[in-house]
Amino acid sequence: MTRSLRIAVPLLALLLPFQAAAQDGPLPQALQPLAGQQAERPAPPFGRHGPLTEREMAMARAAWSYFEAGFQPETGLVNAVGSYPSTTLWDTASYVSALVAAYELGIIDKRDFDRRATLLIATLRNLDLYRGEAPNKVYNTKTGQKVNYANEPGEVGFSVLDMGRMLVWLRILRERYPYLANGVDNVPLRWNFCNIVRDDGRLFGSVVSGDGDTRYVQEGRLGYEEYAAKGFALWGFDVAGALEPAPLAYTTIHDIDIPYDGRDPRVFHNQNYVLTESYLLDGLEMGWDMPAADPAGPGVASQGWRAEFAHRIFLVQQRRFESTGIITARSEHQVEGQPYFVYDAIFADGYAWNTLDPSDVYQPDRAAVSAKAALGMWALWDVPYTQLLFDTVADLSEADGGFFEGLYENGNGVIPLQTANNNGIILAALLYKVQGPILRFANPNTTVWDMAYSQTDIRANKCLPEPMLREVPCCTCGDLPPPVPTIAAADFILCRPVEGEDGIAATDCTTGPQITARPEPRDVLPRQCRTAVVQP
């Protein structure tokens, strides 16, 4: 399972005018590596690095304009899709991504940043939770109330994938801006994790069954499951089971072994889409590191297999272009009209380049060059192909509405929809170019999250981590053998494996020069010879 929720918005609703929020005029501001920190961060190990050009800065401003147009001043939330007043926790995290990038890039000043951040944190802190456990999958952006998929009052369960993405960005806020930490910590302190994080480290979301009862279901497949698990791990949860890529399978596309989730969809009733987005988010936000302070520095991805797989996911798309001429940057995305949303998969349901709607119906005409995927790959891989991707989508925007979702592969033009997720990821990609991986472990202060309820049984009742308890070595346990990594060093193809504190790390990743042979014409006889009748 990938992101569990798609906000299906009729095109008519999207044609309604945006409700723009009143904005303070942004003040010119020099780029800041990190508020309150003077030392410059070394260049990031992957992709592009440097100040934004005038064109790139104009793109950042265009992407931010989406969040000005869709902002709801009553709640501080932003519409997930155009003017339709509905959102998810995933899309709200994409707004946090945009907010951080807009401030760090100097598009908004600190007053505007603080106003928006504190209002949003207050709304998140006071959300009406799904049956008292965790945030509902969907909320009305104007009222902040729980809604169903039709944006009517109701509740539909919670998504641990959406929660995991929000936990990543809440941690980024806490680390970068310690003065926001009190409010940030109080958001997840209201959640109850007992049915969410299981003893084996797996993550469970919830759905409402036909009789109205809550049913808890394991959520996430390869790519998204591990990304969401990092969000939980950043707050101290033991999610080792969800951080590992097992069970794992491979399919060969353009001579590259592409990893996919080995759980059979016929048994587990979840499709194993191979998608780009989770690998891009992991790279842009965390540099494909483990969810801890990076001990090896910026030149090494401490969760090595994530960097290795991300490079394969990128390279197979480049090779498709080299072999077919189809510019390829695939990601799940919204579409206008039915079916409203598609999974633009590299591999799914046994087929490469399979575009499926949420009902697993083949939708080849909805395949697209995704703007967020194109610019995310441009930021993380500095090669000629990603410059082509950049040129393909760099101007697919409106100055007062943000970037469109992408460009259809079949020549049907632009996807005429603008979304929070697309524009938030684009802003994160542009910030990555300037600063490198966005998560910084820069707040050494004691936190409310660690200390709250320490003299009560509330921590246990909510199944919160216990950071004030420290395990000591067992004198009778003996020396246990180190765990066998799921991805062995010999399995690395595009990255060089190195031994790290958290297992096998990766460095010196490369996609190399073009190695897919260009199609060559076949030699054939002239037409008159091919049609001549040979007499016996």
Q: How confident is the model at residue 16 (pLDDT cuts 50, 70, 90)?
A: very low
Can you spell out the DSSP letters for 281-343? HHHHHHTT--SS--SS-TT-BSSHHHHHHHHHHHHHHHHHHHHH--------EE-SSTTSEEE
Confidence of residue 477 (pLDDT cuts 50, 70, 90): low
**Cα distances (Å, whole numbers) of residue 389 to 317, 384, 385:** 11, 9, 6
More confident residue, 513 or 414: 414
Beta bridge partner(s), residue 522: none
pLDDT of residue 480: 67
Lowest model confidence (mean pLDDT) among 83-97, 116-130, 140-154, 268-282? 268-282
Place of tokens 């990128």: 314
Q: What is the mean pLDDT of residues 65-69?
A: 97
Joined tokens for residue 440 = 């910084």
pLDDT at 21 (0 to 100): 37
Share of the chain above pLDDT 90, in %: 74
Least confident of 136-140, 258-262, 386-390, 519-523: 519-523
pLDDT of residue 513: 54
Contact 238, 202 (CB under 8 A): no
Residue 510 pLDDT more than 70?
yes
452-466, 478-492, 504-518: which range is least confident on average? 504-518
Please state whether the peptide bond connecting residue 247 to the residue before it is cis, i.e. omega within 30 degrees of 0: yes
The tens digit of pLDDT for each residue in 261-298 reads 988 777 777 778 999 999 999 999 999 999 998 767 76
Residue 7 pLDDT: 57
Which pLDDT does position 288 carry in this prediction? Answer: 95
pLDDT at 8: 53
- Choice among 27-36, 92-101, 214-223, 480-489 with the minimum mean pLDDT: 27-36
Q: Are 332 and 344 in contact (CB under 8 A)?
A: yes
Those residues whose C-beta lies under 8 Å from the C-beta of residue 350, and which sit 6 or more positions away, are: none
Tokens of 336: 């206008």
Spatial contact of 141 and 78, defined as CB atoms under 8 Å apart: yes
- Name the amino acid, one letter, at 379: A
| Residue 364: count of CB within 10 angstroms of its CB | 12
Q: In whole numbers, what is the pLDDT of the chain averaged over residues?
A: 88
Q: For the chain, report the end-to-end CA distance as a whole number of angstroms.
A: 65
Query: What's the pLDDT band for 373 if we cut at 50, 70, 90?
Result: very high
Reported as a pLDDT band with limits 50, 70 and 90, residue 2 is low
Show me where the domains of the chain are located: 54-466+481-509
Contact residues for 401 (Cβ-Cβ < 8 A; gap 6+): 18, 65, 66, 69, 418
8-state DSSP, 153: B
CA–CA separation, 119 and 126 (whole Å) = 11
Average pLDDT over every residue of 3-30: 42
Q: What does the DSSP 8-state code read for residue 399?
A: T
Supply angle C-alpha 269, 275, 281, rounded to 5.
Answer: 120
What does the pLDDT read at residue 43? 39
Nearest CA to 398 among 81, 53, 59? 59
Model pLDDT, residue 64 = 98
For residue 190, count other CB atoms closer than 10 A to its CB: 16
pLDDT for 11 equals 41
For residue 339, say if its preceding peptide bond is cis, omega within 30 degrees of 0.
yes
The C-alpha atoms of residue 430 and residue 278 are separated, in whole angstroms, by 17
Question: How many Cβ atoms are within 10 Å of 295's Cβ, its own excluded?
Answer: 13
CA torsion, ordered 381, 382, 384, 388, to nearest 10 deg: 70
Lowest mean pLDDT segment, chosen from 8-17, 89-98, 484-493, 519-528: 8-17
Q: Look up residue 429 and give its two tokens.
A: 């990609």
Beta strands per DSSP E along 25-133: 86-87, 129-130
Confidence band of 530 (pLDDT split at 50, 70, 90)? low
Domain 54-466+481-509 fold is Glycosyltransferase (1.50.10)
- Give residue 34's pLDDT band: very low, low, confident or very high (50, 70, 90): very low
